[in-house]
Amino acid sequence: MQADYILRGQVLSFTDTPFDGDSPEAAAKLHEAVAIGGGKVLELGAWEGLRKAHPAAELVDHGDRLILAGFVDAHVHFPQTAIIASWGKRLIDWLNSYTFPEEMRFGDRSYADEIAGRYLDLTRANGTTTMCSYCTIHPESVDAFFTAAQARGQRVVAGKTCMDRNAPDGLRDTAQSAHDDSAALIARWHGVDRLSYAITPRFSPTSTPEQLEAMGALWADHPDCLMQTHLSEQTDEIAWVKSLFPKARDYLDTYEQFGLLGARGLYGHAIHLEDRERARLREVGAALVHCPTSNTFIGSGLFDMAGLMAEGQRIGLATDTGGGSSFSMLRTMAAAYEVGQLRGTPLHAAQLLWLATQGSARALHMGDQIGNIAPGMEADLVVLDLASTPAIAQRSAGAKDLWEAVFATIMMGDDRAVAEVWINGARD
Ligand code: GUN
Ligand code: ZN
């Protein structure tokens, strides 16, 4: 196939997992150029060679900019866009004070449309091409998000958040309506274009056992859907779960006993896990999603990346907007590095970039479609300027290699570092 475009730069492709071998750097390979066509990555190689092979292609020369797969954010709440960075509360008070009043507004389709568009614009400017989002209890919020993502050609996952207790009037569904509304949304959106559905019980404190059971039954009826929820984020929350489910062996068991534990399950936060929970999550191949800016912002704790990776857990990285304090996966990688430092296990730049792309894509079971630049993958790309501000430029100028240079952008970069974004083979 002839290419539509050839991009030149430092094209980063992972050939391995940078957590497995001795050297994280050895998992990555740099190429001079990438040819894309029909929305897919066709070939990696030398600039001159690709130009000769694809004479009709448009040439896009990015000099020494870094070209990598678009960022994949494995856990976000798009409806919390307008209340990001709200001051001074821990999880339960933060939900009641800021989150629930804002989420109440999404029964209004025009407001949901406005925030969905705003969220997708902000994240695209930050180089994020795929995300897995919670919506609100309102089916309109799901329609708004999928409609906006579809218009932008993006691969996204989303689901109606289900809650039938411990939430205010106007922000509760029922076991039956949550089941039926979610089923109707699956029929409308799952598998349409690049969109897919995640069954979304918010977390066990806001669902009755009857609702969790209904969600488990729905997942059994639609096993190709993802299922997303929250797990063991804060110690107060865990104590609350124990009091609500006195017979459960642990927090994970409140999902497991209702059929809500599986390989296509995504468990956000997963900080304060017990040994049984770790063992079961690994056994079933479930995905844990690390949300470092959220965990420091809401004061939740320090995720055990090194220990969980060494156990062979499937792990993605996420902003958790708006409990997380940023829309940027660069800032999120920086926070993951800082959390690693506080645990005495710093992450290498190659590991951080892998988590923000292929790691999150694998968490979403999309690792063979997105999250890496390799032949056959969908062409979602981000082009990073590694000298986007004077502070970063003076540091990267003295860098001994790419990893030192890109680490300065990870730690200090923002949307100014994002030079260009490509979605499904098209320049934005
Ligand atoms: N636990 C239940 N709901 C939420 C949420 O919206 N944000 C975070 N960070 N944790 C939660
Ligand atoms: Zn969340």
Section 132-159 average pLDDT: 99
Report how far ligand 2's centroid is from the alpha carbon of 289 (Å). Answer: 10
Q: Looking at the chain, which residues constitute the CATH 3.20.20.140 domain(s)?
A: 71-363
Section 62-66 average pLDDT: 97
Looking at all shown ligands, the one closest to residue 234's CA atom is 1
SS3 376: coil
- The confidence score (pLDDT) of residue 428 equals 84
For the record, the structure tokens of 164 come out as 């039938």
- The confidence score (pLDDT) of residue 21 equals 85
Burial class for 374, CB neighbours closer than 10 Å (0-12, 13-18, 19+) = middle
Does residue 37 have a pLDDT over 90?
Answer: yes
Topology of domain 5-70+372-427 in CATH is: Urease, subunit C; domain 1 (2.30.40)
Burial class for 284, CB neighbours closer than 10 Å (0-12, 13-18, 19+) = middle
Sheet holding 5-14, edge to edge: 40-45, 28-37, 5-14, 58-69, 381-384, 418-423, 426-427
Whether the ω angle into residue 322 lies within 30 degrees of 0, i.e. cis, is yes
Residue 41 in contact with residue 34, Cβ under 8 Å? yes
Section 86-106 average pLDDT: 97
User: Which value does ipTM take for this structure?
Assistant: 0.99
Mean pLDDT computed over every residue of the chain: 98
Burial class for 247, CB neighbours closer than 10 Å (0-12, 13-18, 19+) = exposed
pLDDT tens digits, 375-426 = 999 999 999 999 999 999 999 999 999 999 999 999 999 999 999 999 999 9
Residues flanking ion ligand 2, Cβ below 5 Å: 268, 320
Confidence band, pLDDT 50/70/90 cuts, at residue 327? very high
Reported pTM: 0.99
Residues near ligand 1 with C-beta < 6 Å? 77, 91, 95, 99, 202-203, 230, 233, 294, 298, 320, 323
Does residue 96 have a pLDDT over 90?
Answer: yes
Report how far ligand 2's centroid is from the alpha carbon of 262 (Å). Answer: 19
Q: Looking at the chain, which residues constitute the CATH 2.30.40.10 domain(s)?
A: 5-70+372-427
CA of residue 300 relative to chain centroid, distance: 19
Nearest CA to ligand 1 atom 7: 323
For the record, the structure tokens of 4 come out as 């539509």
Section 351-355 average pLDDT: 98
pLDDT tens digits, 242-281 = 999 999 999 999 999 999 999 999 999 999 999 999 999 9
Section 130-156 average pLDDT: 99
Distance CA 166, CA 306 (A): 35
Report how far ligand 1's centroid is from the alpha carbon of 129 (Å). Answer: 22
CATH homologous superfamily of 71-363: Metal-dependent hydrolases (3.20.20.140)
- The confidence score (pLDDT) of residue 22 equals 85
Section 149-159 average pLDDT: 99
Looking at all shown ligands, the one closest to residue 237's CA atom is 1
- The confidence score (pLDDT) of residue 342 equals 98
